[in-house]
Every structure is written in structure tokens, then in C-alpha cells.
Amino acid sequence: MQWVEVEVLTTAEAVEAVAVILEDYGATGVVIEDSADLTRKWEDRYGEIYALDPANYPASGVRVRAYLPVVSWQEERAGEIQTRVKALAAVGLDPGAATVRYRLAREEEWAYGWQKYYHPVRVTKGLTIKPTWEEYTPSPGETVIEIDPGMAFGTGTHPTTILSLQALERVLKPGARVVDVGCGTGILALAAAKMGAGAVLALDLDPVAVAVARKNIARNGAADKVTVRNNDLLAGLEGPFDLVVANILAEVILKMIPDAGRVLPAGGTLIASGISRGKAGVVEDALLANGFAVEDTLTSGEWVTFIVRNLLPDPVEC
């Protein structure tokens, strides 16, 4: 079977939004090739330093690559995608070059071509994420999560995911009840379970992500702690939860904030990630307006993660 490989050249802050646009056209996952990765230090499982191949990365900016079914592709789709990417400027995101290219690709390219970019990565002081197809010997005290992204979004190496994991290490208390909103491949839910959470609920609207997350949860032996469900953000959830973590678009976080306040008791914690610097002020204002207090702010490049506490008292039952 043939597929259409679509490449969009954009910026780090617009990556998540571009991924959503491509999903609207049938993509069930994306590959992110960030030129900034070429300047980072990478180590293999033996501690040896290795370099990434510049030929696999853009000279500048970020390339987002997706595979779309050829049966649904029309040439004008490229222009439509470019128009939508450029329109991100209207919502405060820098679309960068916003160039769109496409070509026909074979089945094996769609299924496995992205694996060459994915290696074990130490994402926090005590946590490493590795793909299932690579061997890795952890150091004493090091926690390892095995992930097979399949066709779901998220390998754990994006700055917003790393910031979320760092935030979890800071605030997660043993036995906590945690909900991961927009769980993707299940990385944050798995990390919470391995860090000592008592029970974790992982939610995603995408049925592909739900299926992939369940497989990753089982692969890591965490099915006794983590439940994965198809759900639209926090809609219909009763709570209470001690901690809500959401690594999603700023616009989606804004929509979710009132429900986060509802399911968190007084003193409950929200980790809000996936926020570009340009949107951080708007999100912070919304958090404050809904009774949250900002306890800490983590940053990485163009990305911001808030750790906030719910100050509103629990509702009184009549």
C-alpha cells in the first residue's frame, strides 16, 4: 500500500498545532525533526557520545512529518495545509517558513522509518525512556519506561513532555490519585505510576492513542495502577484527584481549567504543560481567575509548564 508523506517546516512553538492540523487530514501520528537536537549531547546505552546525522534534520526550524492515506489525498490538500499553518500567526504562534512538501511513500517507510530517530533518553535525574526495540542497562536507582509509540503521538523526548516529567518528580506524593489528560502514548501516566502514585487515570480522545497507551502500560507492568479511557478532557469525571497533569495545547488547557478546579480538592495540584511562551500569560491569567495559585514555572526554550495549586474550597454538600 502507498502513502503520502507530508512535510511541514515550522517552529518549535507551532509543532503541536501543526500536528493537530495534519491529524485533521488523516495522520495518526507525526515525526518531529528539530534542528535544535543537533546541538544537544546524546549518549547511547553504554554512555558513549554519538552525533545525529544532519542529513535527517532541517537546516533550521522544525520539520513535522506525517503519512496520509493516498486514497484520500488530493494535490490541493498541500495548499490547504499551508494556509492553515500560516493562519497560526493569528492565534499568537510563529508558523515559521510554513512550507509544505509531499511525496509518495512505501508502506515500510510509513510503519518504521521514524524509528531511526528514537533512542534511549535520560529525561530526568532518575528516569530514562527507551524504545522497545533497543537494549538498555539501567544504573542503580534508575527507572526505565519502555515505549512503543506505534501510531500515537509522543516519544517522551519533546521539551513539553520532559518539563511535565520534571514537574511530576517535584510534586507527586506517594499514593496520590492522578489523572493524565491527553495521555498520548501513556508516558506521563506510566511515570506517575513508577514514581509512587496510588492510582492513575489516563485519558485521551483519540482511540488510537488509547490503544497504544494500554499496550505500553501493560508492557511496563503498570496495569494494576493505570486505567486508560477514551474521554474528552475531564468531561463527566467526578474526582476527586490529588493531581491533574495535562501536556496539551494552550487553547485546550484554557478549555479544561474550570473542570480541573472541579475535580481537584482544595490544595490539589495541576501541572499544565504544552504552553508556548506567547500563550503563557493568557493561560496564567485564566488559572488565577479560576482560583489557582502558581507555585512554580518551568521553562525550556519556547515552552512553559505551570505547577499550580487549587485554592478554592471544596464544594459543600447539602
CATH code, domain carrying 275: 3.40.50.150
Q: In what order do the strands lie in the sheet with 31-34?
A: 31-34, 62-69, 2-10, 99-106
Please check whether residues 251 and 286 belong to one and the same domain.
Answer: yes
Residue at 317 is within a domain:
no
User: How is 227-244 classified by DSSP, letter by letter?
Assistant: EEEE-STTTT-----SEE
Residue in the block written with cell 478546579:
261
Q: Give the alpha-carbon dihedral of 311, 186, 62, 252, to 10 degrees.
A: -40
Residue at 178 is within a domain:
yes
What is the C-alpha to C-alpha distance for residues 315 and 238, in angstroms, rounded to an integer?
12
Please check whether residues 112 and 99 belong to one and the same domain.
Answer: yes
Please check whether residues 81 and 161 belong to one and the same domain.
Answer: no
Q: What is the number of structural domains in the chain?
A: 2
Residue at 315 is within a domain:
no
Please check whether residues 111 and 126 belong to one and the same domain.
Answer: no
Please check whether residues 38 and 101 belong to one and the same domain.
Answer: yes
Cβ within 8 Å of residue 286, ≥6 positions away: 254, 257
Q: Is the Cβ–Cβ distance between 243 and 178 less than 8 Å? A: yes
* Predicted pLDDT of residue 293: 97
Q: Is 242 annotated as a binding residue?
A: no
Q: Is the Cβ–Cβ distance between 234 and 263 less than 8 Å? A: yes
pLDDT in tens for each of the 318 residues of the chain? Answer: 578 889 999 998 898 899 889 988 888 667 888 887 766 544 443 343 344 556 667 778 899 988 887 777 888 899 999 999 999 999 899 999 999 999 887 655 545 555 665 667 777 888 888 877 777 888 888 888 888 765 445 555 678 888 999 999 999 999 999 999 999 889 999 999 999 999 999 999 888 789 889 999 999 999 999 999 999 999 999 889 999 999 988 889 999 999 999 999 999 999 999 998 889 999 999 999 999 999 999 998 788 999 999 997 765 454
Please check whether residues 140 and 284 belong to one and the same domain.
Answer: yes
Report the chain's C-alpha Rg in angstroms: 19
* Predicted pLDDT of residue 68: 83
What is the pairing mode between strands 127-131 and 177-181? Answer: unpaired
Q: Is 137 annotated as a binding residue?
A: no
* Predicted pLDDT of residue 73: 84
Which of 61, 85, 117 corresponds to the end of one domain? 117
Q: Is 161 annotated as a binding residue?
A: yes
What is the C-alpha to C-alpha distance for residues 7 and 40, in angstroms, rounded to an integer?
23
Q: Is 231 annotated as a binding residue?
A: no
* Predicted pLDDT of residue 49: 36
What is the pairing mode between strands 269-276 and 303-310? Answer: antiparallel
Which of 89, 117, 145 corresponds to the end of one domain? 117
Omega of the bond leading into 131 within 30 degrees of 0 (cis): no
Please check whether residues 216 and 282 belong to one and the same domain.
Answer: yes
Which of 117, 147, 173 corresponds to the end of one domain? 117
Q: Is the Cβ–Cβ distance between 52 and 42 less than 8 Å? A: yes
Give phi and psi for 229, each to the nearest 5: -135, 150
Please check whether residues 87 and 168 belong to one and the same domain.
Answer: no
The boundaries of the domain holding residue 185 are: 121-310
Residue at 316 is within a domain:
no
* Predicted pLDDT of residue 288: 97
The domain that contains 39 carries what CATH number?
3.30.70
* Predicted pLDDT of residue 66: 85
What is the C-alpha to C-alpha distance for residues 109 and 5, in angstroms, rounded to an integer?
9
Measured from the Cβ of residue 317, the count of other Cβ atoms closer than 10 Å reads 4
Cβ within 8 Å of residue 139, ≥6 positions away: none
Letter for the amino acid at 148? D
